[in-house]
Structure 1
Amino acid sequence: MKKWFAVIGDPIAHSKSPQMHNTWFAELNINATYIPIHVQAQDLSRAVESLRLLGASGFNVTIPHKEAILPLLDELDPMAQRMGAVNTVVRLADGRFKGYNTDGVGFVRSLEAQIGTTHRKDAVLLIGAGGAARGIAFAMQQAGYDHITICNRTVARAEALVQELNMGTAISLQQAELDLANYNIVIQVTSAGLNQNFALPFALTHLQRGTVVADIVYNPLITPFLAEAKHKEATIVTGVGMFVHQGAIAFEHWLQQQPDTNLMIATISGN
């Protein structure tokens, strides 16, 4: 029987997940398909039950549902539970839905594929404190990054994440702007770059040349944040690598096969 998978979110039209997974299905000769489903917040519970009823083999979860979906699942991977966010759901043999978080590990794989593993003791600034930030913060901590500062529009939310990590510092966006020269790695960890009217979280006046600047948004490839960082001669890391690596980890959870990530990154980047 043909398997089918999906990605749910709001918005969803921008997602390249169907293109990526359907390409991998074809490359590995897997009889499956993958579709995007637009799900608004008020419809999330019904959407999950519909996916269960209609026999989805698994699905991805994107903004704004990564945290809200937790109580709707039957089981959580321990790391997803600790992160408080899910982006991948697997249908188990008994029909139950189990949630995983592949975002954080996907980001770390992407970052280190570009800059190597020698920066783990560098000072890191995460901009944002939502579900994606939590996943990335925990994964970076697990990989050995132990100098992490989190800034957020609502400082209390950054403070809460620092407490969960039991590591790091929480500061305001204004303080981050003033202290920007102190950080070797700066990561834009919000979905704001999806908005065409996106305003930078703060001015990059003090950004130092050669600083590693990453954005988790992959469409557009060069977000306004990365464009400004590039203008300041930073080393930029687009969101494509994270997107592909997190998708590959989800693919492995679903089908126990490893897809070709390098070719997919080149394809989506237009190289």
Structure 2
Amino acid sequence: MTDRYAVIGNPVAHSLSPDIHAAFAAQTGQAMHYDRLPAEPDAFAATARAFFEAGGRGLNVTVPFKLDAADFADRLSDRARAAGAVNTLIAHDQGRIEGDNTDGAGLLRDLQHNRAVTLTDRRLLVLGAGGAAQGVIGPLLAAEPANLIIANRTASKAQSMAERFAAQGPTSGIGFADLADSTPVDVLINATSAGLAGALPDLPANLLAPGATAYDMVYGAASQPFQDWARQHGAAAVCDGLGMLVEQAAESFHRWRGVRPNTAPVLRQLRAGNG
């Protein structure tokens, strides 16, 4: 019997997750099928519930539903509870659904292992204070940066998130308008979804320190505005989120199937296919 999985989001037609999980399944000999599952903005719970009631075994959750997924799950893993956001739903016996968050693990593995970016004792800035940011703040602080700033269009939301994670490391929250007065940063991470609309937060020209890394958590055309800005403003390394996508997918796959796939050939294949 072939187990069913999917990625749920809005939009979701662009997602490479089906290709990634098909490659993982072929590599590890798993009998599974993985689809895209669009959901209307106000219909996440109904759409997810119908999927699981029809026998689905797991969902990846993308924008804008990571906070909804945390509310939907019957129980949360430790890292999902710490994040307050869920990107992986796992069906257990008796129909119980567990929520997990593999985003932070995927981001750190891509930054530290695939790209050899040092986070310890560096100045980090995360743009955005939504579900995508919530999933990575804790793991980033575990890497022991010198400090981590969360910037958001609404400063109070960034400040609230910073307070939530303050016990884990030096964290502060500010508005985008305050970035002009901040110290240049070593690692800039874009956790906003603005690129999906071809937009970019208004960022000051002096935001990046010499040798800085600029990392966008989205990939493909949606990442282009951020990458262009980073190159124009002196970033030494500019990265999209394709590696994070593959690495967090591998962590989800391991939670679902109990097998950890080799990500390197899958990432090479996707890079070649995306030109």
- The TM-score, its normalising length taken from structure 2, stands at 0.92
Match of 2:99 in 1: 99
1:241-260 Cα distance to aligned partner (Å, 9 max, x none): 11111000000000011112
Match of 1:246 in 2: 248
Give the whole-Å Cα distance in 2 for the aligned partners of 1:146 and 1:33: 43
Match of 1:116 in 2: 116
Give the whole-Å Cα distance in 2 for the aligned partners of 1:146 and 1:86: 27
Give the whole-Å Cα distance in 2 for the aligned partners of 1:268 and 1:231: 26
1:48-67 Cα distance to aligned partner (Å, 9 max, x none): 21012111111101111100
Match of 1:213 in 2: 214
CA root-mean-square deviation: 1.7
Alpha-carbon contact 2:126-2:148 (below 8 Å) kept: yes
Give the whole-Å Cα distance in 2 for the aligned partners of 1:183 and 1:206: 6
Give the whole-Å Cα distance in 1 for the aligned partners of 2:258 and 2:8: 22
Query: Matched residue of 1:136: which SS?
Result: helix
Give aligned-pair identity as a percent.
Answer: 30
Match of 1:4 in 2: 4
Give the whole-Å Cα distance in 2 for the aligned partners of 1:118 and 1:19: 30
Alpha-carbon contact 1:9-1:64 (below 8 Å) kept: yes
Give the whole-Å Cα distance in 2 for the aligned partners of 1:165 and 1:231: 32
Alpha-carbon contact 1:7-1:60 (below 8 Å) kept: yes
Match of 2:82 in 1: 82
Matched residue type, 1:170: G
Query: Matched residue of 1:210: which SS?
Result: strand
Give the whole-Å Cα distance in 2 for the aligned partners of 1:221 and 1:204: 21
1:206 deviates by: 4.6
Match of 1:223 in 2: 224
Give the whole-Å Cα distance in 2 for the aligned partners of 1:118 and 1:99: 30
Matched residue type, 1:30: Q
Give the whole-Å Cα distance in 2 for the aligned partners of 1:226 and 1:77: 33
Unaligned 5+ segments in structure 2 are: none
Please, which moves more after superposition, 157-166 or 116-125? 116-125
Give the whole-Å Cα distance in 2 for the aligned partners of 1:214 and 1:118: 13
1:87-131 Cα distance to aligned partner (Å, 9 max, x none): 001111332110000001111111112453643110101111111
1:136-184 Cα distance to aligned partner (Å, 9 max, x none): 11111123235101111000000001110114111221221343x5211
- The TM-score, its normalising length taken from structure 1, stands at 0.93
Unaligned 5+ segments in structure 1 are: none
Alpha-carbon contact 2:67-2:131 (below 8 Å) kept: yes
Alpha-carbon contact 1:60-1:88 (below 8 Å) kept: yes
Match of 1:201 in 2: 202
Is 1:36 the counterpart of 2:39? The answer is no
Is 1:176 the counterpart of 2:173? The answer is no
1:226 deviates by: 1.1
Give the whole-Å Cα distance in 2 for the aligned partners of 1:183 and 1:130: 21
Query: Matched residue of 1:89: which SS?
Result: strand
1:6 deviates by: 0.5
Aligned pair count reads 269
Alpha-carbon contact 2:184-2:207 (below 8 Å) kept: no
Alpha-carbon contact 1:204-1:228 (below 8 Å) kept: no
1:222 deviates by: 4.5
Give the whole-Å Cα distance in 1 for the aligned partners of 2:23 and 2:188: 32
1:205 deviates by: 4.6
Please, which moves more after superposition, 225-234 or 25-34? 225-234
Alpha-carbon contact 1:177-1:203 (below 8 Å) kept: yes
Alpha-carbon contact 2:67-2:86 (below 8 Å) kept: yes
